[in-house]
Each structure stands twice: as C-alpha cells, then as structure tokens.
C-alpha cells in the first residue's frame, strides 16, 4: 500500500496540512445542493493568508505561530490565553468534561462580555489536544487553517484557538445536544430515541456539510465521517466537527490523493484501506455507513454482537434491497414510527453509498436531493401493517437476533394489507466479499 504524501508545495486552503507521515495505520484506526459559487461565498477573504506556510508553522515557536495566524485571520478568530481558558472551564475540571477521544478532552466553558471585545456571552466547547509528537500539532493547525476559512450552517463554528508553549487548544461553539452517536446508542441520560423525522433531517444536514466541502474547486475530503463527529444543536441541526484529518482532494488530472490510511475502522472505504487512494467518494462510503447506523440503531462495528453481525455493512447488505427484509433490521427503538417508503429509499441510497466500486457511489448533491424527497412520506410502519403487535422469541426463525417477530394482520386492522401467512424466515446473510 502506498503510504507517501504528495510532495506538492503548500498553498492557501489547498494545503497538505493534514498529512499523516508520522502516524501508523493501527494508531489511527484505534482513534478516532452546494455550488462552487455558494462555496466561495462562505470562505472568508484572507488577503494575507498566502504568507502562511504549514511547514514553517510546524517548526515555528508559539509566538511566531500566533503572529502569523493573527495576521491571516484577524478578528475572524480569537487568540485566547491559556489562563483565560483555564478560568472558563474551572481548570479543565472533570465536572465540565463533554467528551474524550484520541485527540484529547473537550470541556464546556462560558465566556462573558468582558473576555473579549465583540465576543458575545455564550457557552463554548474547549478542546484540549493531546500533544504527543508532531501529529497533535498538525491536527490542531489543520483545524485552525481549515475552519478559520470556512463558514457554513452545517460545519461547527471555530471561535478561537490557543497556542501557548506546548499547549494547543481550540474553542468552538457549544453544541447542546452532543453527538449523534450519543443519541443513537443510548448514552446514559438520554432516554428517548431519535424520531424518524429527526434522523432524516440530521442526515440531510450532515450531507449538506459534506457537499459543501466536496464543492470546492479543490475539494476537501473529510476523511473521518462518523456519528461521533456529527454534533447536534439545541434544535437538532447537524454540524460536522473534528477536521484534524481533513485532506485536500486531487488537483488537475489526478484522480485521487495517495496518503496513509487514517480514520476510523468500520467507516473507511475499502479501496482507501487497501490502497491509500483517497477521493471524495471515500466520504460517500462513510456516509452510507452512518445511514445504516441510523436505520438499524447498530454501530458500524460491535465486537459484542455475534460473529456474523459484528460488521454492520457486511451484515446489513442482504437486507437493504427488499422492503420485506428491511423491516427485520430497522431500529426497534423507533417502534414502527417510521416511513416504510422512506426507509426503503434510504436503504437503497445507503446501498449505493457503500458500493465496492467508488464510481457507483452517488455525489453528495444527489444524496441531498434523495433524502429531501423522503420528507414528504407519512406512511408510518405501525399504521400500515409493517410493524408487529407483539414480539416473541425469534431464535428458531433464522432472522437477526434483534429482529421483531412479525405476524399476519387482518385487512380490517390496516390499510392495504391483505391476510397472508406469516413471513418465511429470511436466510442468514452471507458476508460480502
């Protein structure tokens, strides 16, 4: 597998600042309709940005880095002092911790009107990066440079940064609902399941974020699209976060970027894992995996499940092109409160996204159009005979261990459903090679 980064010189926005030469594959798998004119409108004008060189900044002192970033971004980003961020997070207290990952920890803080002129009082999220070697700094710098230029309703807003001695911190807008991962997979304290309509709107929002990135003249490949990186505002607006692994896409006649494999196991496209060839279609594959998680309520990879169900893509594929089979793997927490037609179309879209051939995967603009068309469907499964009235043991049926037991319903109890014998057992899915 090729593991060398492109040697092209660094340029504003189309930088190689997210390269990963000093990370191992295993180390990273253990962690973590927009037009081009619309895209350009959302990039802040940075007339002096060309003097920024990633390679220079990587070797510069924190004072030099702050000077260059301040000259490049001006009032668009705030340069915070470490003491200020300690104060607003109670010295990064565990009581204020929002999450923890391979990047380090994230803490909630609150800024008042006295902290910075022009900065409105608000809750913020402070990411304290774990700086072990160069890569931690590189990921920090990648986020500052990328999010310092980009503004979009479905990208998390970067408010400021801190570069002081060896410390590297980022300050974002606070996302009150946390991550999609927490809501799908029962984080303690979250008792209710996401309704079907909310899931659909989240998928649309996340798709718009990806489409925005892919819509640049030099596309931005997100490279780590997953449920934990989709954050939710108080109104459940979805925003993409954590851009430390983002990569600028191929330029000119190039069809792909060759890079070390980085991301999260279960979400990474198979051709990227096997060859290191990265394209925007790699993100589309990851998006398809997230659609499957939203449909089934199961994680992309779960070693606690029985062997043939551990990898969600391999297990779910045989069920996706049949309405009769699909209902067996729908998230039981939805309780039948989902659109039958909508779920079918979403499953077919997911199947396209996770195609082994990248050329068969749709563009994100097409994904958005498809998902938005599902908003009109109101045929709830529970009201049209597609959901069981009771759930018994299914161990002898050959269905997934989590599948509900469907039984025949009379014509009078539902619309358009005739009496029929109980459905035969669906064959055990075979692993797709």
185 secondary structure, DSSP code: T
Q: What are phi and psi of 240, to 5 degrees?
A: -80, 140
Which helix (H) or strand (E) segment holds residue 147: the answer is helix 134-149
Beta 220-221 vs 78-79: how paired, if at all?
unpaired
Cβ atoms of 370 and 291 within 8 Å: the answer is: no
Interhelix angle 364-373/280-296, nearest 10 degrees = 30
Is 127 labeled as ligand-binding?
Answer: yes
Cβ atoms of 128 and 106 within 8 Å: the answer is: yes
Cβ atoms of 282 and 272 within 8 Å: the answer is: yes
Give the chain's end-to-end CA distance (angstroms, integer): 19
What's the full length of the chain, in residues?
A: 433
Report the alpha-carbon distance of residue 388 to residue 390 in Å, rounded.
Answer: 5
Distances (CA, A) of 349 to 71, 193, 283, 321, 330: 45, 23, 14, 10, 15
Report the alpha-carbon distance of residue 104 to residue 129 in Å, rounded.
Answer: 5
224 catalytic residue (yes or no): yes
Dihedral over Cα of 292, 293, 297, 299: its sign: positive
301 secondary structure, DSSP code: B
Of the candidates 21, 38, 224, 242, the residue annotated as catalytic is: 224
Q: Nearest CA to 223 among 179, 169, 259?
A: 259
Report the alpha-carbon distance of residue 57 to residue 69 in Å, rounded.
Answer: 9
Distances (CA, A) of 340 to 219, 371, 381, 383, 420: 35, 14, 5, 10, 19
Beta 104-111 vs 122-129: how paired, if at all?
antiparallel
Residue 242: CB atoms within 10 Å: 24
Binding-site residue ranges: 127
Query: Which positions are catalytic?
Result: 224
Binding-site residue ranges for ATP: 127
């Amino acid at each position: 597998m090729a593991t060398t980064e492109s040697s092209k010189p660094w340029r504003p926005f189309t930088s190689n600042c997210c390269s990963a030469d000093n990370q191992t594959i295993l180390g990273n798998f253990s962690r973590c309709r927009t037009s081009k004119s619309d895209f350009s409108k959302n990039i802040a004008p940075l007339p002096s940005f060309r003097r920024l060189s990633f390679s220079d900044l990587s070797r510069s002192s924190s004072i030099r880095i702050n000077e260059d970033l301040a000259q490049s971004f001006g009032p668009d980003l705030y340069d915070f002092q470490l003491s200020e961020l300690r104060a607003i997070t109670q010295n990064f207290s565990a009581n204020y911790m929002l999450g923890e990952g391979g990047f380090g920890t994230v803490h909630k803080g609150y800024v008042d009107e006295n902290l910075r002129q022009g900065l409105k009082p608000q809750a913020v999220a402070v990411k304290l990066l774990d700086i072990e070697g160069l890569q931690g700094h590189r990921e920090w710098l990648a986020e500052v440079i990328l999010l310092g230029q980009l503004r979009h309703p479905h990208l998390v807003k970067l408010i400021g940064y801190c570069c002081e001695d060896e410390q590297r911190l980022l300050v974002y807008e606070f996302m009150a609902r946390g991550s999609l991962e927490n809501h799908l997979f029962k984080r303690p304290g979250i008792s209710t399941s996401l309704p079907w309509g909310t899931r659909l709107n989240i998928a649309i929002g996340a798709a718009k974020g990806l489409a925005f990135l892919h819509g640049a003249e030099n596309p931005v490949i997100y490279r780590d699209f997953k449920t934990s990186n989709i954050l939710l505002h108080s109104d459940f607006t979805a925003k993409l976060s954590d851009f430390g692994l983002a990569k600028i896409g191929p330029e000119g006649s190039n069809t792909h970027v060759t890079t070390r494999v980085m991301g999260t196991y279960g979400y990474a496209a198979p051709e990227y894992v096997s060859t290191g060839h990265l394209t925007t279609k790699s993100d589309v594959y990851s998006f398809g995996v997230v659609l499957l998680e939203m449909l089934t309520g199961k994680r992309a990879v779960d070693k606690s499940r029985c062997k043939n169900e551990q990898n969600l893509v391999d297990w779910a594929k045989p069920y996706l092109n049949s309405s009769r089979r699909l209902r067996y793997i729908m998230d039981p927490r939805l309780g039948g409160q989902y659109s039958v037609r909508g779920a079918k179309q979403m499953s077919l879209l997911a199947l396209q996204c996770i195609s082994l051939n990248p050329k068969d995967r749709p563009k994100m603009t097409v994904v958005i159009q498809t998902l938005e068309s599902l908003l009109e469907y109101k045929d709830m499964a529970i009201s049209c005979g597609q959901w069981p009235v009771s759930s018994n043991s299914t161990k002898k049926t050959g269905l997934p261990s989590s599948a509900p037991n469907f039984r025949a319903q009379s014509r009078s109890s539902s619309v358009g459903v005739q009496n029929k014998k109980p459905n035969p057992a669906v064959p055990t899915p075979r692993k797709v090679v």
